[in-house]
Each structure stands twice: as C-alpha cells, then as structure tokens.
Amino acid sequence: MAETWSNEQIIADSLGRAADIEIGGSANGWRLSRWRQFVGTYSLTSLPDPLFVVHISGKRNIKTWQRDCWSERDSIPGLATIVPAGQPTSWLVDGELDVVTLSIATDRQGPRRGLEQFEQMRFAFSDPLGVALTRQVLSELYQPESAERDVYVSTLVDALRAHMLRGPMQPVEPSFPTSDFSAYRIHHVMNGVLQHPEAEHSVEAMAAQAGLTPSHFCRVFKRATGLSPHQYVMKARLERAQQMLGGTELSISQVADCLGFASQSHFTRAFRGFTGQTPSDWRRSNLH
C-alpha cells in the first residue's frame, strides 16, 4: 500500500523547498510550519488533512484559483485561509509569500466530528484571535531553546487548534467604539499609518487589525477621524512628503517612490490638491 504524503510533504514538493520551521506530529494532533516563497504559480494536490493558513507578512498580491479565474480578492498579511482536505488548490504569488500553516490531524478512517468548518474553502478572512495566537507561537519559536519554551509553544498551538476546531468567530459589528479597548484599537491603526505612511494600508488589513469587518471599520474610522481610511492614509503620506521635501535633498520622484505613489505625476496631483502648490514650488517657498 502506497504511503500517503502529509500536507507538509505536498506543500514542499509544490514549492520546491522544505519549510523554514516545522514542529509537531501525529502525537500532537497537529503540525505547524512556516513557509517563505517568491513570485510564481503553485498548485497543490488534494491534502489529506485540513489546513489553517495565516498570512504573516510579504506582499498582498496572493490569489487563489476559483472555478475559472483567479480570485478578485487578495490575501494580505493579517488574514487567514482554510483549505479543506481533499480539495486541490492553485495559488498565484505576486511578490514575497510568508505564511504559517497548521495541519489539523484527523482520523481518516473514523468520523470527522468537530471539523465542519473545514469542509469548505475559506479564503482571506479575518480571524484576529487565530492570527494573534499564530504570531505569538512564531515569536516564541525564535527564542532560545528550552524545555519551558517547548511546553509553552505546544500549549499555544493546542489553544490555536482548539480555536480552529470550535470555529473562528465571525466579526461582530458593534456600535461606534466608546470603550477604552475599542478606542485603543482604532488609535493603534492610526498610529501604524502615521509611523509608516509609505506602506499599503489596505482597508482589509486595517480592518483585520482592528478586529472589524471592512465595511464597519470604514464607518467607525470616519466617525473617529472625520476622514475615510484612504483619505487618512493619503493625508499622512502628504504630510510626510512635506517633511521630506523640506528636510532632505531627495528628488521629487524619489519622494514619490519612497511614499508609495504609483508615479511622480500622481504624487504631484495629490500634493497640489493638499497644499495648493506643486512639490517643487512648495520646496522653494519653504526652504530657509
């Protein structure tokens, strides 16, 4: 009888490389791995066990094949995906891929109780608790090895497995956040934009960080700031552009590129709308 490959063997065969990290096994009831890969199209044959995937970092342009085309939705850092057992999948990676996978070991001969949420593909959804547990596991794995660390990591992964078997909770849309914790989450997102205005800051990523659905996050964010998330990101970029134009010798095109604008002309139009001046005119009038 031919040996059945594990999820990890199938993934490694498709990527052409082993996982960066792999822990767990049949005795644990789970296997957790970290994978890093770059641009390409990858196909996975059907997996023997269901798989929970967390997009850790890298580019946002990760798509999956759906019926007859690539998905309109992208996976971005901070989102999760469920791949059911027995379903072949294909993936389009347009940039760096950095994911953590958790294989949920099952008794393939017996009933599959507790695995109902793994019966269908769920691509790029928000699961703040699952993502937070995964990130904590990953951070611990890079700490110095010790028996205490191994027990702690195993406990964290068991908690993640239990969370997945229960089923990721659907985001709840509360009213405008007035509690200290809710306000903190929104301000945390705002501070992240101010610290790194050049980053992409998609609505989906910011909403996942706040633990809200994208549509509700947009409403909550505008009530809190008076601006849409896109307007807030643009304002942060243009304020940083003013600092760079006044405090560095970077060219206009270099400033535009550093701040994530698609082109110098796009940057110039946005800057003029924000300040009433072109970047060149603003620099000349503000140099001392």
Q: Could you tell me the residue ranges of all domains in the chain?
A: 7-166, 177-288
For 69-83, 119-133, 157-171, which range has the lowest pLDDT when averaged over its residues? Answer: 157-171
Looking from the CA of 233 toward its CB, the CA atoms found within 13 Å total 19
For residues 53-75, give the mean pLDDT: 82
Please tell us whether the domain made up of 177-288 is placed in CATH 1.10.10.60: yes
**pLDDT grade for 71, boundaries at 50, 70 and 90:** confident
- Could you give the CA distance from residue 124 to residue 110 in angstroms, rounded to a whole number? 30
Q: Coil, strand, or helix at residue 260?
A: coil
**Are the C-beta atoms of residues 77 and 56 closer than 8 Å to each other?**
yes
- Mean pLDDT, the chain, rounded, equals 83
pLDDT exceeds cutoff 90 at 31: yes
Residue 30, pLDDT score: 92
* Residue of 194 and 181 predicted with greater confidence: 194
For residues 180-193, give the mean pLDDT: 72
* Residue of 89 and 124 predicted with greater confidence: 89
The strand order across the sheet containing 30-37 reads: 21-25, 30-37, 97-104, 51-58, 80-83, 122-125
The CATH code for residues 7-166 is 2.60.120.10
**pLDDT grade for 174, boundaries at 50, 70 and 90:** very low
